Amino acid sequence: MDLQELECAINSADKPIRLQASRSLGALIESGELKRTRLEEVNNHVHTTWSFSPYEPSGAAYAAWKAGLGIVGSIDHDSIGAAPELLEASQNLGLASTVGFELRVSFLDTPLADRKINNPDSPGIVYMCVHGVPHQKIAEVERFLKPVQEVRNLRNRAQVKDLQALVGQYGFDLDFDRDVVPLSRFSEGGSITERHILYAMARQCITMFGKGERLVRFLEKELHIALSAKVQALLLDPGNPHYAYDLLGIFKSNFLPRFFIQPGKDECPSVYDVVAFGNSIGAIPAYAYLGDIEQSVTGDKKAERFEDGFLVELMDLLVTIGYPAVTYMPPRNTVAQMERLQRLARERNLMEISGVDINSSRQSMNCPELLQPTCRHLVDSAWALVAHEKLSTVDPSLGLFNPANPYAQQSLETRLARYADLGRRMDSRHPLDIIKLFE
């Protein structure tokens, strides 16, 4: 295969083809025939097709390599199924990697039960990540998440029925098993999200009206959706490579609040249980800070208040629950918000982890904000996270927060610096050999 064919194959629907492409591209990289501009940027929060994303795990690894990143991390909603492939493909490409998962947890048994914390849709329900899962614990995570997926799909099925009741009169015929499930990796341990449902609706809309003027007219005249000039121009362009994703975004804004069913405790396990599980397997549970939105930094969020008004109380609660870390996305917050969060995290001895969630073909893998003075330490944290994951895969006692760690009595800052250095010196083609560097 030539380079163009390999770049296509690495995001193929066929896993053996993807992995063979990663080996072939890796050989070109190792020989120096394929080069890139290496940046200091990293991203620990890339979604794959195991939740919702245009990227297969191998494709995500290669897209990150091509973007110049030093680290790629897979994070999927309610699933860790992409992890083995991402690890293998990254190793083939000579790219550092880390794996984890994201899920919604219940704060309904905490003092903040009635607050809108970091979830725009559900008071008392919180998004969190579990980073740096040791590789021998991946199967255990899959078993832990399986009941969550099963309950979520009961709600997904009901949501599709409710959406169809809203749009059936316009010619849509949405069926969960026929139209939504095939868009997912559910049979391989992947999750199904509201984005899958809306993507199925977008595809069906394109089939009904084609791309261009007829579809735009349908949205405006029949569905009474007001389109900005910019969005209208995107939908009038049949050559737009992101067409279905752009249409999904329109449907998300206009229909999600109308068919969304609130998840219950059976789908959102107690935060106490999830944090305890993450700690027990040697991973790093992290609260995902969102922050109040006065004016969206990224332009994709409405003005809304979240945890900033009670952040001190929340941070104290995180320590009580047993969180070792917080995670946040520099492009989504102001400098003032990040500086406040960072100060509170340092005071409470919480690790800071960064990542920008990638789930659309329009998004860039890059995060230049990490190179600003407010965020540069997050690059070191990412390398420490990688070292933690690889070392605790070889020897669980070497996890950053394991009480048996030889450096356990040193400050978190010192441990992070040591581990960041190990991560940077690691051979990404033989990542578990990092143990040879440990002193």
Lowest-pLDDT range, 3-7, 86-90, 298-302? Answer: 298-302
120/59: higher pLDDT: 59
Longest Cα pair distance anywhere in the chain, in angstroms?
68
**Res. 265 pLDDT band, cuts 50 70 90:** confident
Could you report the per-residue pLDDT of 66-93, keeping only the tens digit for each? 999 999 999 999 999 999 999 999 999 9
* 254, part of any domain: yes
pLDDT value, residue 160: 98
In this model, does residue 303 exceed pLDDT 80?
Answer: no
pTM of the model as a whole: 0.94
* 77, part of any domain: no
In this model, does residue 296 exceed pLDDT 60?
Answer: no
Q: Please state the rounded mean pLDDT for residues 113-126.
A: 93
Provide the domain count of the chain.
1
138: number of Cβ within 10 Å:
18
Q: Please state the rounded mean pLDDT for residues 24-50.
A: 96
In this model, does residue 1 exceed pLDDT 90?
Answer: no
pLDDT value, residue 115: 93
* 204, part of any domain: yes
Q: Which of 264, 306, 312, 261 is nearest to 288 (CA)?
A: 306
Measured between alpha carbons, how far is 62 from 146 in angstroms, rounded to an integer?
Answer: 28
pLDDT value, residue 302: 67
* 151, part of any domain: yes
* 160, part of any domain: yes
Q: Please state the rounded mean pLDDT for residues 27-35.
A: 97
The two structure tokens encoding residue 253: 């804004």
DSSP-derived 3-state class of residue 45: strand
pLDDT value, residue 295: 57
pLDDT value, residue 294: 75
In this model, does residue 297 exceed pLDDT 50?
Answer: no
Measured between alpha carbons, how far is 382 from 53 in angstroms, rounded to an integer?
Answer: 22
Could you report the per-residue pLDDT of 196-245, keeping only the tens digit for each? 999 999 999 999 999 999 999 999 999 999 999 999 999 999 999 999 99
Beta strands 351-354 and 325-328: pairing type? parallel
* 428, part of any domain: no
Residue 196: partners with Cβ closer than 8 Å, 6 or more residues away: 52, 156, 180, 183, 184
The two structure tokens encoding residue 67: 């973007």
Q: DSSP strand E in 243-393: where?
A: 284-288, 325-328, 351-354
- Cα–Cα distances in Å, from 385 out to 89, 273, 433? 19, 22, 16
Look up the domain containing 174 and give its range.
147-259
**Res. 396 pLDDT band, cuts 50 70 90:** very high
Average pLDDT of the chain to the nearest whole number: 95
% of the chain beyond a pLDDT of 90: 93
* 245, part of any domain: yes
Which amino acid would we find at residue 242?
H
The two structure tokens encoding residue 14: 């066929």
The two structure tokens encoding residue 345: 């995290």
**Res. 300 pLDDT band, cuts 50 70 90:** very low
* 185, part of any domain: yes
Lowest-pLDDT range, 116-120, 389-393, 412-416? Answer: 116-120
pLDDT value, residue 33: 96
In the block, residue with structure tokens 């690691």: 426
The two structure tokens encoding residue 240: 């737009």
CA 345 remoteness from chain centre: 22
